[in-house]
Structure 1
Amino acid sequence: MPYETSGGDQHELASRLGHTHAIVRALAEEARFYVPAEHVRDIAWLQPKIRHRSELASAELAGAEEHRLTGVIGVDGSLMVVPVRDGLPSVRYGYAQAAAIWLDLELMQAQRRERFVDPVALHEAVKSNLISMDMPVAGAYLREGMSIEDSWRESVDRLFREKKIEVNRLDQSLLELLMLLHGRPGAPAHTVSVDCPRQSCRWKDVAVPEAGRPCPRCGSALYPTDCLRIYEEVVEDGENSTALGRLMQVVELLVLVGLSTLLWRLSRTELFTSTLFVIDGPMAVYGPPAKLRGRALTYFQSMEPGPFVCGVEKTGTAVDYARSLVRHEVLKPGDLLLVDDEVIAKMTNADNPLAYGSETYWGRKFFYRSLDGRVVVITVLPGSGAPYDDHGGQVDPAAYPSLPAILDVVDRTGSSMYRDGLIPVALAHSKAAYPIGVGTDVLRLVAKQKLGLRDTPDDGPSGR
C-alpha cells in the first residue's frame, strides 16, 4: 500500500485477511445458487392476498381517535462473548442484556407538530431500563470438578434468582416470571416439568418447584431453569454464543411477561389497553427453549382484554423477500400481504410450507408497507388458537383483532435511523446495544408516571 510505516523504512502491508470479504463475494458471483428474493416474476397470484389497511379497521377504531394506542413499550436484547485470559483464547466470558423502553406516543406526536422540536420534551417522551447478566461461557467453570453443562445450569439458575424486576413494592425475579409464564396471569405455576440432564438417568417430566429438588431416580440436583434445556447447546470447544443467544431470547420474553402483567394487573382497562408491546424480532422461540412458544401463546391469550403485542423483524429472509416485492410494486402504501402457505413456499423454498412456524412461532407473520412507504415485517398475536399449525394456521386478518391498531402505530412511528425503521424498535435497540448501566427501572417509571404511584418513606432511596 502507498503508506509508509511510522519508522519510514517500509510500506504498510495489507492484512492477511483484509481482502477476504471481496474474495468471497467474487467467488459467490461465479457460483450457482437460488435466492427466492431475486426471482419475483409473476406477481398476479399475490393480488388476492393483499388487503388495504382501511379494510381492516374495526368499527371501534374507525374514526375514534380516543381508541388509538398512546404508548409503546419496546424490548430488545444483545449479547457479547469475549476472550478474557491472555494466552488462553478458549476462555470466554459472556455478557447479555435486555433493554425496555417506554415511548409516549402523544408527546412524540405533539413534537412533530411543532416548528422547533424541544429536545427536553422528546427526552421526557422516552424512558428506559436495562437488565444485564454475565457468566463464564466456555473454557471456564464455576468450580473445579464440574462439567461445562453443569456450570451453565448452575449459572443460569443463579442468574434467574438474582436478577429482579422491581416497581415500588412489586418485586419479581426472572425465575418468578418463568414460573408465572408456566401458569396464568396472576397465578404462577407451583412446579415446572424437567427432564433429568444426566446421561445415565434421563428421568422424564419431573415436577420441579421454584426451590429446585433432587432427581427421584439418580438424586442429582434439578433446577427449574432446566426446563429451558439451554445446556443442551453448550459445548466444550467453542465460544457458546448460540447458547447465550438462547438465554437472551428467554430473558426478552420474560421481560415482556413482567411488563405486560404489571399493566394488566394495575390498569387493565386504561393503560394496558392503550399500550403496544413490541419485541425486536419475530414472536418466536428457537432451539431447546422452543416449548415456551406454547406457554407464551396460552399466557397472553388468557389475558382479558387481550394485549396489543407484536414482533418486528429488521433482517432475515422474510425482510429481504418483502423488500423485493415492494421493488416490484406488489405492495402499495397502506397494503398488507397475507403470508399464507403459498407465500411461505416461495419465500423459504420449502417443500412443506404448512408446517412453517408451528413449533416456534406464537405470532403470525404479515408484510406491511406503511403509508410513508416503509416495508415492515411484523408478527401478531391471534385472538385465540395457534397462528401456525400443521394445516397452515390462521391466515385471515380477522383472527388478529389487534392488527388495525398495530398498523396505526407502525404508520405513526417511522424512523429514519434505520432502513424501514420504527422508533420504538430503534430506541430499544440503541439501549440494548450500548450498556448504559442499570438505571431506573422502566416498570417503576411507567407505574409512577401513568398510574400515579409514589415512593413511600420505607421504600428507600431507590423506591423499591
Structure 2
Amino acid sequence: MPYPSERASRLGHVPVVNSQAVQDAFARWEVAQATPADEHRVTSLCRPIEQLGNAGISDAVRFAITVDGSDTEVEATREHPTIKVGYVRVAASFIDFKKLHHAGARNFVDPHLLRESHQHAAFDRALPGSGLVIPGSTGVDTWRQELDRFLHETKFDQASDQTLADMLLALHGSPSAPATTAPLRRCPSCGAKDAQLSGGQIDIPKGGTNCPECGQKVYLGDALRTEEEYMPEGSNRSSLTRMMLVAERLTSLGYMQLLFEDPHSFDVLSKTLFITDGPLGLHGTVAPLKRRFQDYLAEFAKQCAANNHPAAPLVVGVEKSGTFVEHAQLISHMIEPGHVMLLTTEYINRITGRPANNPYGSDEFYGRRFIYRTKNGGILVFTVPPKPGVTPYGDPDGELWSSYPTLRPVCEVLDHVQTRLYENAVIPVALAHSAASLPLGVGQSVLRALVQQSLGLPTRSQIRQTGPFAGSR
C-alpha cells in the first residue's frame, strides 16, 4: 500500500506485462461462456411464448409496481477515511399502463396523461459504518440498534401504518396470518447456538426480547444476521447492500399484502405486475430468508387461486447487469424473437465455470432465471417464482416449463413496456431506478458534507486552515 500522496512509477506496469508467468496464465484460461458452436444447446432450451399456458392473462394486466434501491458508503472526511456512513434509498414506482399507452397514442405525447400514469414514493435511511457508535455501545451493537430502528420506523407507504418490521413478521407467517415472532438460532451477543438455547432458537417479537443465556437484548433486526458481516475497521458495504435488498423485497411484498387485505382491491391484485430490480434471490447472511419468501409467495398463489385468479400474483425480478445479462447479449442472435429460454442448472454451471454437479441457486433463489428475446428483438434476463410446491433450483420439477404458470403473462407484459432510453430496458424499472438512484461525483460530495455537518466533523477547508502550515505561502 502506498503512503498518502505517494505515486507509482509511470512505467511500473511494464514488468507485469512482460512477465512470462503472467502470459502463461492467460494462455491457460478461456472465457466460461457459450460459443457459436453451442447454438443447438441454446435453441433446445428455448420455446415460443405462444406454446406456454395462461394465454390472455396479460390482457387484463393494467398496473405495475416496481421497487428499486440504491446504497452507497461514504468516508466522513477524506483525511479520516476509516469513519464511514452508509446511505440507503428505496423507491416504489406505480404505473398505470392504460394511461401510459393513451399518453402516446397520438402524434404527440400528452404530458398530462403521462404525468398521471406514473407515481412514486421513496424512503431514505443512514446507517452507521466503521468508526461511528451510539455512546455506550460498540460499533456492532450500534449497527444492530440502528438496523432495528430502520425496520420499525420505515413505512413503505404513507397511506398505511405497516412498517418493514411488520412485513418481516408477515414473511415468517402467511398473507392471511402474519407471525408474531421471527426465529434466531444464534445469540449475536454471547454466540449461544441451538443446543444451548431453550427450544433450539430465540423467538423474537416485534419489540425484541432477551437472550435466555446471557440476558442481553435481542432485536427483531437480528433475525437478518447482517451484524455477522459488520466490520469495525473497514467497509460495511456488504452489510449495507444486504439490508437494501431485504428492504426492497419487503416493500414489494408490503404492497402485495395491502392489496390482498383490502377486499375492494383484490381484483386489482390480479391486474398488477410486481417488479423487483434484480433477481429474486438473497445471498450471504440474509440468504435463509429465501425459504420464507418462497413459502410466502406460494401461499399467496394458493389464496389467489382460491379466489379465481390462477396466475396471480405476477412477480418478476428484472436484471440490468451481471454475468447472465452479458451472456444473454452474447447468445441473443441464437434466440428467435418471441422465444424464452429456460436456463437449466447444467447450462448455468457450464457458462459460469462451476462443477457439473454444483447445486446452483438452491440456497439463494426463490425464482428461476430465464432469458427472453422480445418480439422487437430486445433481450431481457429475469426470474419468476414457480408454482406452489416447486423449488426453482435443486428440484427436478424446477426445470419443467409447466412449473411456471406466470411465465407467459410476464413475457407478454414486458413486451409492451420496453423503452429505447437504455439498452434492453423496460419502462417500469427505468422509472423506479430514476427515483431510487444515488448519484456519484457531486452527489457523494454532498452526502459527505451532510455527514460532516451532522457529526460536527471538520471539512477539508477547515483542516487546511487549522493545519501546521495554515497561513503560510
Match of 1:173 in 2: 163
Contact 1:311-1:379 within 8 A present in 2 as well: yes
- The answer as to 2:262 corresponding to 1:271 is no
Other-structure match for 1:397: 401
Conserved in 1, the CA contact under 8 Å of 2:346 and 2:356? no
1:257 aligns with 2:261: no
Task: Please tell me whether the aligned partners of residues 56 and 404 of structure 1 are also in contact (alpha carbons under 8 angstroms).
Answer: yes
- After superposition, residues 20-99 of structure 1 pair within 5 angstroms as 31-32=26-27, 33-37=29-33, 39-61=35-57, 67-85=59-77, 87-99=79-91
Paired residue type of 2:70: S
CA 1:389/1:369 → structure 2, altered by over 3 Å: closer, same or farther? closer
Residue 182 of structure 1 pairs with residue 172 of structure 2: yes
Higher mean C-alpha displacement, 225-234 vs 398-407: 398-407
Matches within 5 A, 1:312-461: 312-326=318-332, 329-352=333-356, 355-434=359-438
1:287 aligns with 2:293: no
In the alignment, the residues of structure 1 paired with residue 429 and residue 166 of structure 2 have an alpha-carbon distance, to the nearest angstrom, of 26
Alpha-carbon distance in 2 for matches of 1:393, 1:26: 52
* Alignment check: 8 A CA contact 1:290 1:359 kept: yes
| Equivalent residues of 1:37, 1:320 under 8 A apart | no
Corresponding position: 1:121 with 2:113: yes
Matches within 5 A, 1:125-136: 125-136=117-128
Task: Report the CA distance between 1:279 and its aligned residue.
Answer: 0.3
SS at match of 1:172: coil
Distance 1:275 1:46 in 2: 32
Instruction: Determine the C-alpha separation between the residues in 2 that align with 1:276 and 1:19.
Output: 55
* Distance in 1 separating the partners of 2:358 and 2:100: 41
Structure 2 distance, partners of 1:131, 1:19, is: 48
d(CA) in 2 for partners of 1:330, 1:232: 44
Percent identity at matched positions?
31
Cα deviation 1:3-22 (Å, max 9, x = unaligned):
xxxxxxxxxxxx97999999
1:100 equivalent to 2:97? Answer no
CA contact (8 A) 2:55 2:408 kept: no
* Contact map agreement 1:362 1:381 (CA 8 A) in 2: yes
TM-score, scaled relative to structure 2: 0.81
Amino acid of the residue matched to residue 188 of structure 2? P
Cα distance in 2, alignment partners of residues 23 and 429 from structure 1: 43
1:23 Cα deviation after fit = 12
- Cα distance in structure 2, aligned partners of 1:397 and 1:355: 19
- Structure 2 CA distance, aligned partners of 1:247 and 1:17? 41
- Corresponding pairs, count: 413
Superposed CA offset, 1:200-255 (max 9, x none): 53445111111111111111111111110000111122121111000101100110
Q: Secondary structure at the match of 1:160?
A: helix
Give unpaired runs (5+ residues) of structure 1: 1-14, 436-464
- The letter of the residue matching 1:273 is S
What code does the residue aligned with 1:432 have? A
Q: Would you say the 8 A contact 2:314–2:410 is kept in 1?
A: yes
* Contact 1:179–1:190 under 8 Å retained in 2: yes
- C-alpha separation between the residues in 2 aligned to 1:228 and 1:333? 41
Deviation by residue 1:389-427 (Cα, 9 ceiling, x = unmatched): 434551222211111111111100111121100111111
Which residue type is aligned with residue 174 of structure 1?
A: L
Counterparts of 1:192 and 1:369, CA distance in 2:
41
Instruction: Go from structure 1 to structure 2 and tell me whether the alpha carbon gap of 1:314 and 1:25 turns closer, same or farther (over 3 Å shift).
Output: farther
Q: 1:21 to 1:375 in 2, by over 3 A?
A: farther
- 1:88 maps to a residue whose letter is H
8 A Cα contact 1:355 1:392, kept in partner = no
SS in 2 for 1:309: strand
Q: Distance in 2 between matches of 1:263 and 1:22?
A: 62
Asked whether the equivalents of residues 190 and 214 of structure 2 are also in contact (C-alpha less than 8 Å), the reply is no
Aligned twin of 2:317:
311
Residue 193, structure 1, aligned to residue 183, structure 2: yes
Residue 120 of structure 1: how far off its partner (Å): 2.2
Counterpart residue type for residue 277 of structure 1: F
What is the aligned counterpart of 1:143 among 108, 115, 135?
A: 135
Counterparts of 2:36 and 2:279, CA distance in 1: 24
Match of 2:470 in 1: none
Q: Which amino acid aligns with 1:315?
A: S
What is the deviation of 1:75?
0.5
In the TM superposition, what whole-angstrom CA distance separates every residue of 1:268-293 from its partner, at most 9, and x where no partner exists? 54210000000000000111011111
For structure 2, the residue ranges without an aligned partner over 5 or more in a row are 1-6, 305-311, 440-473
Distance (whole Å) between structure 1 residues aligned to residue 345 and residue 413 of structure 2: 27
* More off after superposition, 172-181 vs 196-205: 196-205
Q: Are residues 340 and 24 of structure 1, via their aligned partners in 2, closer, same or farther at CA, if it must alter by over 3 Å?
A: farther
Mean CA deviation greater in 363-372 or 154-163: 154-163
Contact 1:283–1:363 under 8 Å retained in 2: yes
